[in-house]
Amino acid sequence: MSRFTAKQLKVIREERGFSQSEAAKYMHISDRTLRAIEANERQVTSDEIIQFSRIYQVDVRELLLEEYVEQSEEQILFNRYISLYRIFDQLGDKDKEDVVWVLKQRIAGLI
């Protein structure tokens, strides 16, 4: 694991408002293990990276790739939702209108 990943795990955990104890509990690891991971004293497995990304609600690339984090916020959002965009782009005009309508209703809290 890189120092970058260890640092990101700690920074993002703190940004999300998790204590080490809370994060360790969600990860099903000990507080000591989480401290070692964040201090870059213990390797983190790929399964753990995926689990961290789910708990912290971030893209895995934000935990692993320094160049990914250095991108603009718009580029990060684009990368995060490119699959959804590709599917949306394949829809017909009527289906696109329906999707936009549903999103507007959801944003307005109507559904």
pLDDT at 69: 61
Packed helices 46-56 and 3-15: angle between N→C axes, nearest 10 degrees: 20
pLDDT confidence of 41, banded at 50, 70, 90? very high
Span 42-98, pLDDT tens digits: 999 999 999 999 999 998 988 998 876 666 677 767 777 887 888 999 999 999 999
Q: Contact 74/82 with Cβ under 8 angstroms? A: no
55 token code pair: 């708990």
Alpha carbon distance 39, 63 (integer Å): 14
* Domains of the chain (ranges, CATH numbers): 3-69 (1.10.260.40), 73-107 (no CATH)
